[in-house]
A and B are shown apart, each in its own frame.
Chain A
């Protein structure tokens, strides 16, 4: 079955620095790749998504890049702030379901 690998599992950055989280998927038929943010004790919420006909998408401080050939996609957060601290999940829509990566715990220190 489809597999989504996510790295790193934890990431600590200083406020103002950038953070990058990377994911790899296995099925070349996948074509929808969302990113979710889950704050402590809360539900996962979509922050950005990308479809396979696009290589990059940006929304203010957040950007996502997709390399379909290599089956990689990445989340980039610039000018990080303490409120960016959360667990981030990449996901891949495959065979009627969203398959999530293992999550990255991001901590932004003031």
Chain B
């Protein structure tokens, strides 16, 4: 059983399009995150949700809109895609403060 799963694994799309990435965790965790990993492998937090409520938005452009329909799901919708959005996006979840974060397998987004 996959603890944190995200779909799709690969996404190739043209500039200006809108796309979504879905994430689900079956660990019963209250906290979920989105991270962006760029070509230099830097892992940067984008959003943090706790029990469906937005806790952190790390100055991400408002073209990125996370949505948490319930605490097991955190989806990421991106409008008007730009070349610089190309990266691997990781969803993660944790039990709460100061606990291990479990990562999904990542979604490699390529904007052409």
Residues of chain A within 8 A (CB-CB) of B55 are 96
Q: How far is the CB of A5 from chain B (nearest CB, A)?
A: 13
Contact B90 A43 (CB under 8 A): yes
Collect the chain A residues with CB atoms within 8 Å of residue B43's CB: 44, 89, 100, 103
Least CB distance from A10 to B in Å reads 11
Q: Which residues of A contact B33 (CB under 8 A)?
A: 97-98
Binds B, one of A45-53, A55-63, A67-75, A76-84: A45-53
Partner of A93, one of B35, B97, B103: B97
A interface, by DSSP: helix, strand, loop or mixed? strand
- Dominant secondary structure at the B interface: strand
Assess whether A34 is in contact with B100, with CB atoms less than 8 Å apart: yes
User: Given A32-B98, A87-B41, A96 and B56 touching (CB < 8 A)?
Assistant: yes
Q: Does B111 contact A (CB under 8 A)?
A: no
Measured CB to CB, the nearest residue on chain B to A44 is B103
User: Across the interface, which residues of B come within 8 angstroms of A42, CB to CB?
Assistant: 105
Bound-state Cα–Cα, A98 to B12, Å? 28
A99 contacts partner chain B, Cβ-Cβ < 8 Å? yes
Which 7 A-B pairs have CB atoms at the shortest separation, nearest pair first?
A: A32-B98, A43-B103, A100-B43, A103-B41, A46-B100, A93-B98, A97-B45
Residues of B whose CB lies within 8 Å of any CB of A are 33, 35, 40-45, 48, 50, 55-56, 58, 90, 94, 97-101, 103-106
| Apart from the given pairs A100-B43, A102-B41, 10 other A-B contacts in the complex at a CB distance below 8 Å | A31-B98, A32-B98, A43-B90, A43-B105, A44-B90, A46-B100, A96-B56, A97-B45, A97-B58, A100-B35
